């Protein structure tokens, strides 16, 4: 049974202001992740298809859920109660390693719910609004958008390889 459905993807705008362009690209990458997971069942999503790597599509979804949560909620808004959902200090790779076929639907739901929350967080802030990262220090929403675009672009390359090994599907 397929866990993810293919989203209605919207190309990033060709002519846009700074914020609209960054949000358009980030949303396009978020939808690309969903598209790369579409049509697969829990076992396929959790499969570590490119040995010796332990990456799986489900691990990427779980990781990006925690990444979104951390940058927008913890760093930008300073919400210390919004800790990671899928990893801990004692289990730093839990986001990548602990997803199972049985957790796939809940992991999908957590990702989609987190996207709704972080979009609302971002909407409350201007690009120049500053959050504080515990290691990097002060940075603004503009930097967070650019970092997330980079993070998704890198991990979608991983997702391409994983999906192709699972069922031969390739795409953008």
Residues near 134 by beta carbon (within 8 Å), at least 6 away in sequence = none
93 CB neighbour count, 10 Å cutoff: 12
| Domain positions in the chain | 30-167
0.85 cut: is pTM over it?
yes
Q: Rounded to an integer, what distance in angstroms lies between the CA atom of residue 107 and that of residue 165?
A: 22
Query: Tokens 């953008």 belong to which residue?
Result: 172
Q: Which CATH class is domain 30-167?
A: mainly alpha
Chain-centroid distance, C-alpha 58: 11
Q: What is the pLDDT along the chain (172 residues), one digit of tens a residue?
A: 889 999 999 999 999 999 999 999 999 999 999 999 999 999 999 999 999 999 999 999 999 999 999 999 999 999 999 999 999 889 999 999 999 999 999 999 999 999 999 999 999 999 999 999 999 999 999 999 999 999 999 999 999 999 999 999 987 6
HSE-CB of 170 using CA atoms within 13 angstroms? 2
Chain-centroid distance, C-alpha 67: 6
């Amino acid at each position: 049974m397929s866990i993810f459905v293919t989203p209605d993807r919207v190309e990033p705008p060709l002519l846009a202001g700074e914020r609209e362009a960054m949000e358009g690209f980030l949303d396009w990458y978020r939808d690309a992740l969903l598209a790369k997971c579409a049509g697969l069942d829990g076992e396929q999503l959790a499969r570590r298809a490119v040995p010796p790597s332990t990456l799986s599509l489900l691990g990427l979804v779980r990781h990006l859920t925690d990444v979104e949560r951390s940058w927008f909620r913890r760093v930008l808004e300073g919400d210390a109660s919004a800790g990671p959902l899928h990893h801990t200090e004692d289990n730093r790779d839990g986001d990548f390693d602990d997803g199972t076929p049985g957790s796939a639907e809940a992991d999908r739901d957590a990702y989609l719910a987190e996207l709704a929350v972080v979009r609302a967080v971002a909407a409350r802030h201007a690009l120049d609004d500053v959050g504080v990262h515990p290691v990097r220090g002060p940075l603004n929403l503009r930097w967070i958008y650019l970092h997330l675009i980079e993070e998704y672009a890198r991990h979608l390359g991983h997702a391409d390889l994983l999906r192709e090994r699972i069922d031969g599907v390739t795409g953008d």
